[in-house]
C-alpha cells in the first residue's frame, strides 16, 4: 500500500525509528530546558555529559561487570554529582554575567571531557550490548522492532512525564518555578535558592546521563556521541521554547518523527530539516511554540 508514492511499511518503520530518536531529543532538551529555565545558563556541556552517562555505563559493564539495570541508576547519579561539582566550582561565578560566559565555560568543559575520553578510547565507538531481558524483537507487521528500542521510548516517556509532574504539580516544583520567576523574593521567604540551583543543575545533567545510558546500546559509546546530538537538541529547545517543560517533550518527539518522515521522502534533507523548522518557527513565533515572551 502506498502513501504519497511511498510504501506504507517504509513510512511506518521510519516513523517508529523517528520516535526512538525523538525520545532522546525529548530527554536531552528537557534537561536543557530545566537548566535554562532556572539558571539562565545555556548548558553547552549537555552533550558531553550525555556521553559521560553512556561511558560510565560502559565502564561499569566492562570493568566491574555491573548490570545495565544498576547502571541506569548509578550513571545518572555519577553525572549528577559531576554536574553539582561543575556548578559549585565554576558555573556559579558566572551568573552575574552575560549568558555568553556560561555558554563559553560549558563549551570548554565539553572540549575537555571529549578530548580526555578521545585520547583514551579513540573516536570510534565501543560496543555495548543491550541487557539480556531486553534483547529480541517484536514483529509489528511492517517491521521488526527490537525490544530495546521500545524500552527506550517507554523509559524516556516515563522519566519525562515524572519530571513534568514534579515541576508542575508538587511543592518542590512550585519552588523551582518561583525561583525561575523571582529568585530574590523566594530567598526572602527562606528558601535556600543557591542549593536549589545547584541541585537543579545536577538533576538536569542527570537527565542527560540517563539518556546516555539508554543510548549506549543504540548508538556507539563514543566520545563524540554527544556532539552529534547536541546541535539538534538545541534546535529542539529553541523550537519548543526555552524554559518550557512540556514544550521540549512534545517538540523532541515531534521533531524525531519529522526527521524520520524526511528520511523516507528526501533522505539527504534529514540532517537539516530540524533547522529549517527552527527557522520557520523563529520567524512565526520567536518565543518558540510553547514558550512565553519574557
Q: Does 123 bind another protein (CB under 8 A)?
A: yes
Residues 138/145, Cβ–Cβ less than 8 Å: yes
Closest CB to another protein among residues 269, 286: 269
Short-list 142, 106, 87, CA closest to 226: 106
Cα–Cα distances in angstroms (integers) from residue 118 to residues 50, 53, 71, 221, in the given order? 15, 15, 22, 11
Select from 267, 272, 276, 292 the one that contacts another protein (CB under 8 A): 267
Residues 71/90, Cβ–Cβ less than 8 Å: no
Nearest-angstrom CA–CA distance, 121 and 101: 30
Closest CB to another protein among residues 40, 227: 227
Closest CB to another protein among residues 212, 240: 212
Candidates 138-146, 169-177, 183-191, 247-255: pick the segment binding another protein (CB under 8 A).
138-146
Q: Within positions 10 to 29, which residues make up the interface with another protein, using CB under 8 A? A: 10, 13-14, 17, 20
Residue 216 DSSP code: T
Nearest-angstrom CA–CA distance, 190 and 255: 41
Q: Does 4 bind another protein (CB under 8 A)?
A: no
Min dist CB 51 to another protein, Å, is 11
Closest CB to another protein among residues 62, 192: 62
Nearest-angstrom CA–CA distance, 217 and 69: 13
Reported as half-sphere exposure (CB side, CA atoms, 13 A), residue 290 has a value of 15
Give the torsion sign (CA, 174, 176, 181, 186): positive
CB-CB neighbours of 13 under 10 Å: 18
Min dist CB 263 to another protein, Å, is 5
Residues 6 or more apart in contact with residue 158 via CB below 8 angstroms: none
Select from 5, 98, 124, 293 the one that contacts another protein (CB under 8 A): 124
- The site string for another protein over 164-203 (x = CB under 8 A, - otherwise) reads ----------------------------------------
Q: Within positions 237 to 256, which residues make up the interface with another protein, using CB under 8 A? A: none
Q: Cell digits for 45? A: 556541556
Residue 41 DSSP code: -
Q: Does 132 bind another protein (CB under 8 A)?
A: no
Q: Within positions 210 to 229, which residues make up the interface with another protein, using CB under 8 A? A: 218-220, 222, 225, 228
Residues making contact with another protein (CB under 8 A): 7, 9-10, 13-14, 17, 20, 118, 122-125, 127, 137, 139, 143-146, 148-149, 218-220, 222, 225, 228, 260, 263-264, 267, 270
Amino acid at each position: 500500500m502506498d502513501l504519497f508514492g511511498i510504501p506504507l511499511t517504509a513510512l511506518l518503520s521510519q516513523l517508529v525509528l523517528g520516535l526512538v530518536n525523538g525520545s532522546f531529543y525529548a530527554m536531552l532538551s528537557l534537561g536543557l530546558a530545566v537548566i535554562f529555565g532556572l539558571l539562565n545558563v545555556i548548558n553547552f556541556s549537555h552533550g558531553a555529559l550525555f556521553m559521560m552517562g553512556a561511558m560510565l555505563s560502559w565502564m561499569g559493564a566492562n570493568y566491574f561487570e555491573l548490570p545495565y539495570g544498576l547502571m541506569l541508576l548509578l550513571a545518572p547519579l555519577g553525572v549528577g554529582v559531576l554536574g553539582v561539582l561543575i556548578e559549585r566550582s565554576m558555573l556559579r561565578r558566572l551568573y552575574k554575567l552575560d549568558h555568553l560566559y556560561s555558554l563559553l565555560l560549558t563549551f570548554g568543559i565539553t572540549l575537555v571531557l571529549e578530548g580526555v575520553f578521545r585520547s583514551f578510547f579513540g573516536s570510534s565507538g565501543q560496543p555495548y550490548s543491550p541487557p539480556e531481558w531486553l534483547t529480541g524483537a517484536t514483529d509489528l507487521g511492517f517491521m521488526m522492532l527490537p525490544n530495546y528500542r521500545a524500552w527506550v521510548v517507554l523509559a524516556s516517556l516515563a522519566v519525562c512525564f515524572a519530571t513534568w509532574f514534579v515541576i508542575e504539580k508538587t511543592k518542590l516544583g512550585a519552588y523551582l518555578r518561583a525561583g525561575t520567576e523571582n529568585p530574590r523574593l523566594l530567598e526572602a521567604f527562606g528558601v535556600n535558592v543557591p542549593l536549589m540551583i545547584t541541585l537543579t543543575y545536577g538533576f538536569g545533567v542527570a537527565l542527560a546521563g540517563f539518556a546516555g545510558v539508554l543510548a549506549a546500546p543504540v548508538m556507539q559509546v563514543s566520545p563524540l556521541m554527544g556532539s552529534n546530538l547536541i546541535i539538534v537538541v538545541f534546535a529542539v529547545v529553541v523550537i519548543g521554547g526555552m524554559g518550557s517543560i512540556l514544550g521540549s517533550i512534545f517538540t523532541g518527539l515531534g521533531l524525531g518523527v519529522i526527521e524520520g518522515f524526511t528520511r523516507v521522502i528526501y533522505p539527504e534533507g534529514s540532517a537539516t530539516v530540524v533547522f529549517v523548522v527552527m527557522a520557520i518557527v523563529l520567524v512565526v513565533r520567536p518565543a518558540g511554540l510553547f514558550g512565553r515572551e519574557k
